[in-house]
Amino acid sequence: MFTGEISQKLNNLYVRANEFFVNLKENDRIKRLQKYTKSSYWKKAGWSFTRAILLLGLLFVLIYPLLFVIVTSIKSLDDMYNSTVVWIPRQPTLENYKLVWKYMNYPQSIRNTVFLSLITTVLQIASCGIIGYGFARFKFKERNFIFGLVVFTMILAPQVLIVPNFMLFKNFDLFGLISVFKPGGINLLDSFWPFILPSMFGMGLKGGLFIYIFRQFFRGMPKELEDAAYIDGCGPLQTFIRIMLPNAIPAIVTVFLFSFVWHWNDVFEPKVYLTSPNLYTLAMKLTEIDLHAMGSRDSLLKDPIKVLPPRYAGVMYVVSPMLLLYAIGQKYFVSSVERTGIVG
């Protein structure tokens, strides 16, 4: 009898526990249904899905060309003529890289490119920084008008000024002083001076944009920093060098990366000013790979597929240093762009 009562109580406890869990599952199911029926949930889910699609699309747009270039650069001619070979070459080879290394004279070309990009970048940081600081902190007559002309140069294509600049550097003269000693001036073509001189005075490649970046950054700095420097006996130049410039690291990093990359990839102005192969940059050498790989223009027109692997191998030689630079300075670049106020 005692055993029967215990058994009955255990059965009742089991039934109640079962009912409790059933009710718990039912309540949980109801809560989930209520959660799914809320408009805020679907808005959040829809935005998450849309953002994921946009990021995947952007990733595809950015990564797809690079992957295509890498894969094509290691393809053999048999793989190029085989329509079934798309992403995985059946006969991968590094022969294209060996040929392009020789055609581009890579050690000398990269030295020319690094020197040209680095010297012009440093000069642009110095000149554009001073000009931007002057526009931001000093009030003078026609300041807004002159700054408007600087902004206008941002939308002016370099091709518009290439003819007068070419004539200027072909017969370079300084207020008629050089003509006294050498009639007709000095021919600065086929040298790096056509790039160095404009960069010294804020007129280099994209100089207007760099002046604008420095001007906007210095305008956002507290005026009290300059007042404290003036009280301590610093002049305007000392204040700029000792106080303002060390605090403008974000703007300097932004201008450095932009200027260095643009000069590294520029091929239009070097093609106009440089004629000696010993001064060619990587971008200029890249444009000649077609003729080196094919031997003549006639063979290039007959079979342009043959030139694709060496051409893309040359692209990798040109792009790889920039990818490494971006990988190293990505963190500083992103934070610097945010602090300089560049949007869009």
Chain-centroid distance of CA 121 in Å reads: 14
User: Does a structural domain hold residue 94?
Assistant: no
Q: What is the pLDDT of residue 50?
A: 85
Q: What is the CATH number of the domain that holds 151?
A: 1.10.3720.10
CA distances from 255 to 203, 208, 238, 276, 298 (A): 14, 11, 22, 29, 43
Domain stop point among 245, 261, 287:
287
Q: What is the pLDDT of residue 289?
A: 79
User: Does a structural domain hold residue 162?
Assistant: yes
Tens digit of pLDDT per residue, the chain (344 long)?
A: 445 565 665 566 555 655 554 555 555 555 555 555 555 656 777 778 888 888 888 888 888 888 888 898 888 888 888 888 888 888 888 888 888 888 888 899 999 999 999 999 999 999 999 999 989 888 888 888 888 888 888 888 888 888 888 888 888 887 777 776 777 778 888 889 999 999 999 888 888 899 999 998 888 888 888 888 888 888 888 888 888 888 888 889 889 988 998 999 998 899 989 888 889 999 998 888 765 555 544 444 456 777 888 888 999 999 988 888 887 776 666 655 555 554 43
End-to-end CA distance of the chain: 85
Determine the structural domain holding residue 19 and report its residue range: 2-81
CA distances from 243 to 229, 234, 247, 314 (A): 8, 10, 7, 44
pTM of the model: 0.76
The structural domain count of the chain equals: 2
If asked whether residues 76 and 165 sit together in one domain, one would say no
Distance CA 5, CA 148 (A): 98
